[in-house]
Chain A
Amino acid sequence: MKKTSILALTLIGSLALGSASAQTSLKIASLSPLSGGQSDLGSQIKNGAQLAVNEYVPQFKKLGYDLSLTGYDDQADPATGTAAARKIAADTSILAVVGTLNSGVAIPSSAALAPSHVAMVSPANTANQVTDRGLKNMNRIVARDDAQGPAGANFMLTKLKAKSVYLLNDKTAYGEGLTAEVKKALLAKNTKISGDEGTEEKSDFSAIIQKIKLTKPDAIYFGGIYNQVGVFVKQLREAGVTVPLVGGDGLDSEQMVTIGGKGSDNVYYTTVAAPADALPAAKKVADAYSKAYGKDIQGFGIFGYDAAKVVLQGILLASKDNGNKLPSREQVETAMRKVRATGLLSGTVQFNSMGDRKAAKMYIMNISAGKFNLDSTINVKSPVN
């Protein structure tokens, strides 16, 4: 009851202010790192979402809504993200959120948004825990770690013919979760784990590299983000270790090559975010992206775009269910779970009861000579329906 009265107040408020078009302001938010070490990935998400919003502005205008996107910065930090989530919850004109980049941020911020029923659609979170908590407002359009981990492990076993693997993680919810899944899959095939450790170190990897040289693994798996793995792989190659390095979607950034230099050769990563040239519909969006932001669209830009489209189609569905009137946040939250979002770059999105995408694709990318090439594609299914 209270919520509707607040909505009514905002409605009356905007009418009373006598805005020229008398349109109701309707906002969605993006929540991702816009500053700090991971801002490259976070900005891609926001920019991608903005493109989707631009596309939908006319359609919402016809319904009487003035649609806009507000970008919130979480600095890849759980506390900052949660604080931003509280701000989002307090702004009642925001109906849903595209975000976040980091699982470690998504977990507390979706919990902070849950009581006010603000739906989240994540373009990037892969940790199992993100949806395993059974929150009604948390959804994601990417594959989970229990799909990504085995994909990375199988790749090392079959394509790289690795007999022993050195495991590293960045001690975040993302890195630890992903690497644990990789380890499980490797152990299931009796692969030797020549080392398994976590490190928050950002610059000096000399001790780890000495150990890698001693244990001579066939491959290294690093569950981490490009700004750490790039530095690591650079030092690794300088120390004369040339074995392939495999990682997760945290490496999906051009910055990986900038930081790693020649060291990023022979690096592979699994990603849920498709390369633009692997998606038939992506050309137009890619052009719009580079025109608007002066950069090429990358994986997370595409998924930011897709996640925003899911959000907007969810709101449209909720609005339709509500007799073409402004839906409440709760209605949007419910509609999000049953939406069948189409016209996306990564194919149709439908969520299962937990908020996981029913069928997702996983890509294995290879970096060589500073270029990103698609190595193979794997279809994955959500664990429950």
Chain B
Amino acid sequence: MDFATLAPFLVGVIISGLVLGFVYAIIALGYTMVYGVLQLINFAHSEVFVTGAVVGFEIFRVLADNPINGYLKLLIALVAAMAASGGLNVLIERLAYRPLRNAPRLVPLITAIGVSLILQDLIRIIEGFQGRFDLTYQLPQGFSTPFCGPESTCSGVGSLLAKIGISLQIKEVVMVLVALLSLAALNYLVNFTKLGRAIRAVAQDRVTAGLMGIDANGIISLTFLIGGALGGVSGVLFGLKFGTVNAYSGFDPGIIAFTAAVLGGIGSIPGAVLGGLVLGVIQNLIGVTNILGDALGIANLGVIDSSYQRIGGFLVLVLILIFKPTGLLGRSNVEKV
């Protein structure tokens, strides 16, 4: 295989990895937000994310025959999913984590896993009553069409992509835009608003922040609300990209996004994004290793096919943690005396 066929192929793999990475990145933010404030791994986040995907599915289903604009439908789906997932996350915190806040670290972790299992079955029961299991998104017309039609009708980035033979669909472009928008909004909220300052203060020292007149419980609830809302967004994006979701779909992306959060440095917002993107790209590259092996004439690489792509992500995580235990962008926690 020559360079001329291999280069666009690789670019295509990296681009689809980045698109996937954005979904992971936003899920990872949900983990990282909660961890940053409470030092708690919210394992129920994967189900919060699935809840968002399910709500998105229901909105698209109900609006399927409605003649309103497709993008408006998406907006409604996003808002509804954010509200549902955010509300759910606040409820989880109130019922399952707050009573245990002073318990040893392991206790809320186990509760989190328990909540996660309960939510899985709840989703399954609720959808199962209507005879559904695999929920298939009924996307508005045009979402699945290529971003760039015949080469002659494209311009700018579109024509460049088309020239090297990379096909993006409208929905993937929309997906990345929504992801970037939510990231920007979150970044603004945390770093440039009074509320954000309060969140950072509670993250740094809950008790002292309370003494300074910050309602720590309120801020923690708010953090869960924001984290959950991001979970809702990522759920809809997941449905948009892959088309199908079921009660158990959260596990795999949940674990990967958690890995992404740790890879980037858990607690760090840019770290979560970077971790998500890195994992998305690495997974896709591992998935095509056998082709690269063939092309470069390295026979042994041929055995590494796409079934290894998950392991690849974890391998990178282990390597990074060996050389930089705080993750890519994480800061080490100075023990306060």
Contact = CB atoms under 8 A, between A and B. Distances in A.
Interface of A: 35-37, 39-40, 171, 195, 197-204, 206-208, 210-211, 213-215, 227, 230-231, 234-235, 238-240, 255, 258-259, 261
A215 B290 CA distance: 12
A273 B238 CA distance: 35
Given A214-B5, A259-B244, A207 B134 contact: no
A240 B12 CA distance: 13
B314 interface: no
B17 interface: yes
A239 B169 CA distance: 8
9 contacts: A35-B124, A195-B290, A199-B307, A203-B244, A211-B290, A230-B134, A234-B244, A255-B134, A259-B136
A201 B242 contact: no
Contacts of A255: 134
B128 interface: yes
A229 to B, nearest CB: 11
Contacts of A210: 9, 12-13, 16, 284, 287-288
Contacts of A36: 133
A211 B9 CA distance: 8
Nearest to A207: B287
Nearest to A239: B167
A204 B242 contact: yes
A208 B241 CA distance: 16
A240 B167 contact: yes
B133 A39 contact: yes
Q: Interface on chain A toward B: helix, strand, loop, or mixed SS? A: helix
B242 A231 contact: yes
A202 B252 contact: yes
Interface in B1-27: 5, 9, 12-13, 16-17, 19-20
A241 B160 CA distance: 20
B147 to A, nearest CB: 11
A214 B284 CA distance: 14
Interface residues of B, number: 38
B212 to A, nearest CB: 45
Interface in B224-259: 238, 241-246, 249, 252-253
A238 B169 contact: yes
A47 to B, nearest CB: 13
B249 A203 contact: yes
Contacts, number: 96
Interface of B: 5, 9, 12-13, 16-17, 19-20, 124, 128, 133-134, 136, 144, 146, 167, 169, 238, 241-246, 249, 252-253, 283-284, 286-288, 290-291, 305-307, 309
B20 A204 contact: yes
B307 A258 contact: no
A201 B256 CA distance: 13
B307 A198 contact: yes
A40 B146 CA distance: 33
A37 B136 contact: no
Nearest to B305: A197
A239 B245 CA distance: 20
Contacts of A213: 9, 12
A203 B306 CA distance: 13
Nearest to A255: B134
B146 A240 contact: yes
A276 B288 CA distance: 42
A204 B13 CA distance: 13
B307 A230 contact: no
Given A35-B128, A235-B242, A239-B167, A207 B136 contact: no
Contacts of A204: 20, 241-242, 283
Nearest to A214: B9
A171 B307 contact: yes
A202 B306 contact: no
B99 to A, nearest CB: 32
Given A206-B17, A210-B13, A259-B136, A198 B244 contact: no
Contacts of B13: 206-207, 210
Nearest to A262: B144
A206 B20 CA distance: 9
A36 B9 CA distance: 37
Contacts of A197: 290, 305-307
Contact of B133 (A37, A195, A235): A37
